[in-house]
Amino acid sequence: MDNQNQALDFILQSALLWSGMVKKADQQLSVHGISFSEFGILHQLSLAPQQRLSRIELANAVGLSASGITRLLQPMEKIQLVEKEQNARDARVSLVKLTPTGQQIYLDALQTCNFFATQFVSPLTPRQQEMLVDLLQRL
Amino acid sequence: MDNQNQALDFILQSALLWSGMVKKADQQLSVHGISFSEFGILHQLSLAPQQRLSRIELANAVGLSASGITRLLQPMEKIQLVEKEQNARDARVSLVKLTPTGQQIYLDALQTCNFFATQFVSPLTPRQQEMLVDLLQRL
DNA sequence: ACAATTTACTTGCGCACTCAAGCATCAATC
DNA sequence: GATTGATGCTTGAGTGCGCAAGTAAATTGT
């Protein structure tokens, strides 16, 4: 098994893992009424200073396009998980801010997601999990 | 950083990596006229005994639903990358077989994909790449 | 001061996929 | 050997995105 095949295996193996992972995550998170993508948004917002980010920052943080973010946020605003806020310095950017409701839903969903994620990586020892996260972060 | 957060990081980091990876792979493979999903199909078929698989086997191998496979294969049959073949023992299954054309396109695309994959994992040493593939395969 | 370019979004369109329902075939039970 | 249930696949409807084009605001160049 040479290096090239190893790299190819990595890509194809990831495809397989990922498709299953998202499906299960969405399913588990559905009890909170949110999708995995929406969880990702809540997560990034909760990490952000003052829990607010521009839409572009959000898009980069979760790996979606700007238009994807626009459409994802529409229903989230409607059910008050996040709210719009405009930037005083630059009228182009419309900031997204986590509401208290959104914060609460996030904390609930975080429990579920942590449980799921922990279960997902459970075939590995903690030492191996650490190594895996470390390796991925270098890519 | 406890174990739970590590697991969560793994999931979210994967989301980010994966979204970028597929986009780049699709872009590079477009010179061969195929998508990354289609490459996955050609790859699995080329590995299979007699280069033929049922649609269900294919779906499981690449992580798509049965209906996804049906729709992906339609254009691939039209341009003769694969062909239908029926199973003598069971009239329900319709096998998918790689054509010589498909084989050729696959080999060309494999070069591209190997190059891309190799580049993608290049921030890691060969030793680390090996470890990464090994860890993923246990999940 | 005013055009030209760049940036932050939004919108129209379309593709890729899923889920649920349907059809055909096989297998098991009576 | 008919019925019941499981399996392989296709189809209809709907969702979740991306891409390209459009708008509005900021920045840059002159």
B78-110 confidence digits (pLDDT tens): 999 999 999 999 999 999 999 999 999 999 999
Q: Does nucleic acid strand C have an atom less than 7 angstroms from the CB of B23?
A: no
- What residue is closest to C11 (Cα–C1')? A67
Mutate: best of A135, A137, A138, partner B, most B CBs <10 A = A135
Selecting from B21, B63, B133 the residue whose C-beta is nearest the C-beta of A20 gives: B63
Chain B residues close to A116, C-beta within 8 Å: 11
**Residue B6 pLDDT exceeds 90:** no
Residue A89 lies in a domain: yes
Inform me whether the C-beta atom of residue A66 falls under 8 Å from chain B C-beta atoms. no
In a domain, B120, yes or no: no
Q: Tell me what pLDDT residue B9 has.
A: 87
Mean pLDDT of A39-58: 97
Q: Which domain holds residue A110?
A: 26-114
Angstrom distances, CA of residue B3 to CA of A70, A117, A121:
33, 10, 10
Which CATH number is A104's domain given? 1.10.10.10
B112 has a chain A CB within 8 A of its CB = no
Among the ranges given (A5-9, A54-58, B57-61), the one the predictor scored with the smallest mean pLDDT = A5-9
Q: Cα dist. A79→A28, A51, A71, A86, A123 in Å?
A: 20, 18, 14, 19, 37
Residues 6+ apart with CB under 8 A from B15: A22, A36, A40, A62, A63
CA distance B88 to chain A (A): 30
Which residues neighbour A21 within 8 Å (Cβ) at sequence distance 6 or greater?
A120, B11, B14
- d(CA A67, C1' C14) / Å: 14
> What pLDDT does B79 receive?
95
How many domains does one find in chain A? 1
A86: enclosing H helix or E strand: strand A82-86
Residues with CB under 7 A from strand D: A 35, 37, 63-68, 71-72, 89-92; B 19, 23, 54-57, 66-67, 69-71, 73, 90, 92-95
- Residue A6 scores a pLDDT above 90: no
pLDDT at A3: 73
pLDDT-based confidence at residue B129 (cuts at 50, 70, 90): very high
Q: What pLDDT, on the 0 to 100 scale, is given for residue A18?
A: 93
Contact A135 B136 (CB under 8 A): no
- B7 and A118 within 8 Å at the Cβ level: the answer is yes
Q: Is residue B121 part of a domain?
A: no
B82 assigned to some structural domain: yes
Which residues does B44 contact at the CB level (< 8 Å), separation at least 6? B53, B58, B61, B62
